[in-house]
Structure 1
Amino acid sequence: MDELQRQKVKGRGAISNATARYERETRVLADDGWGENEALTETVRTHVAPASARTIISRNQSPDVPFDQSINPYQGCEHACIYCFARPTHAYLGLSPGLDFETRLFAKRNAAELLVKELRAKSYVCKPLALGANTDPYQPIERTERITRSILEVCRDFRQPVSIITKSALVVRDLDILAPMAEDGLAFVGVSVTTLDRDLARIMEPRASTPPRRIAAIRALSEAGVPVAVLASPMIPTLNDHELEAILTAATEAGASMANYILLRLPLEIKDLFEEWLRAHVPNRADRVMALVRDTRDGALYQSDFGTRMKGSGVYAELLRNRFLLARKKLGLEARHFRLDCGQFKPPPAPGDQLSLL
């Protein structure tokens, strides 16, 4: 059996667990005759530890990112999407962007407490908060941790506008908070639909909601009055890019009113993890996919330049862009962003505050 085939881990995206880039020692898989590699074919358990967060709002000044501040309730993501641009952040923790990113998770259990403190600060200027800018706020451990829900409760109480990006149907659990906020222009959700092919989704993003469940979530959100965008991201040449129009159509029929897409990004360790995954799961297309990725990045596997890092360049990238613009216009998805109302922000009275006479 091919070595990569033998190393595939059930229910996980990454094939390997290479050492983080900042570590002095390098670990490699090797067959020493004792069958240790066979153990990798077993299900790897998820470990969750508390994160020692001191602040919770992250600020962003990137010109091609449509928000100024965000919150990430978790570090690492059990959805295990092989293409996830957040994987390299695990290196800052001394952990691998490979299997560690999917299995060694950190939960910011004091997120709501920190958020209250930061929203009450006299220096705070209300701007929309984005949940899910790095890792998914509705990944499986949210079912028990409920950190995202506690953040939404704070946003509701403070009249703090919030946007959510997720590929989990779990988001509909919080419609009791999101629907009333959306009615007041305080909530918006973007649902990522990478593919409509359940078989491809199962190997590419193994622990995320299935494509039909994501489409159902779009419908439930829309019917509850929550503005929804569909994010056809990432588009991967010859792997799922042929589905672009079908994804947008399915989401529109379910009630999505906005759309966007991102071309596959392979910064830092992701390029090796992704190619390794390709050669293990779709070896007959691996060379073609990697060649076209280079065509969209001026011969490189990734370019970090603002303005092109999200969409790429060259003939193939331009064709994809034109297809998206045409489909978006045809389906009536041309609204770029939903405007959230920051004018309603008002911290509720804190315990011990003097009551107002008026």
Structure 2
Amino acid sequence: MFSVFGRWYRRKFSDPDAAMLLILILLTTAVLLLWGELIMPVLVAAVIAYLLDWPVCRLVNVGLGRTIACGIVMVGFITITILTLVGLVPIISKQSVNLIQETPLIWQKAQEWILTLPDKYPDYVQVSQIHQMMEGINEKLVEVGETLISASFSNIANLAALLVYVILVPLMVFFMLKDKLFFLDGISRLLPKERRLITQVGHEMNSQIANYIRGKVIEIIIVGVVSCVTFVLMDLRYAILLGVLVGFSVLIPYIGAAVVTIPVAVVAMFQWGISPEFWYLMIAYGIIQALDGNLLVPLLFSEAVSLHPLYIIVAVLVFGGLWGFWGVFFAIPLATLVKAVVTAWSSNPVVIPEEAK
């Protein structure tokens, strides 16, 4: 067993470039696991700078200086962010509060409907089963309510952290954009000389991550706007809140669309019951999801991220469990990174001398 493992290790890692790639991955993972929360503002700033680098480069190509181009892009980005927050946050907050206040009424109507099942299907549903199920659900709802209350107090305590993001992150983004070459040169000096595979993986990931992030942001905006407009036109309650949820659901492939269907269906059923309006809404929602998966995603991402659906789901679960929202957002790029690393190791076999076998 040890000889088999030894031959595999020498075949994959006797190349100094492969060993350096492995060491870099292990060090990066250790830093993120140990100090991920501490350096999260820096990581967020790096992600935003990565997104904004494309318009900065376009302005530089037109003839503007990099500092002026960075200033224009940052002003535009901050203006759009503020207008979006001012326009959406009050509406979403109000609708969220109203939905929370009406949740007991929705649950009461759901219980009344559930209690009718034993009369309709006496051979399959028993009254004792219904009462036992509702008691369990009520206990879970109480636990969820207590969790939400404690989370609200913790969010008040995290106001200082919010100020860090609001003030320091834009400053870091500006300097990362303005002095991009300086920081890249510094990182290059830190990397070892044996970095052929590191460079190979870096070049492969650069285009894929850039395309993925830009495509995902565009997908969120398109799906969210179309969903909001559709829900408003169909006079669905909490249309903006549910539309925003549908937009952000595309962050989690497969899982997000299934999960967000529940609040949309519950609100529609509470508003209209099992009626033609309910089915019209669900059909429209299904068309939005179908167009997103079969038309929008292929157009935005093409074959830039060619991963099996099972790998994507596993990546979402693993990286989401490690780093929460940002882990979910970058689950596919991180999975693509793992694939690129495995491909680099597999495509660079090392010939083992006979005396070493």
Task: Normalising by structure 1, report the TM-score.
Answer: 0.25
User: Which protein shows a greater Rg?
Assistant: 2
Task: Normalising by structure 2, report the TM-score.
Answer: 0.25
Of structures 1 and 2, the one with the larger relative CO (CA 8 A, separation 6+) is 2
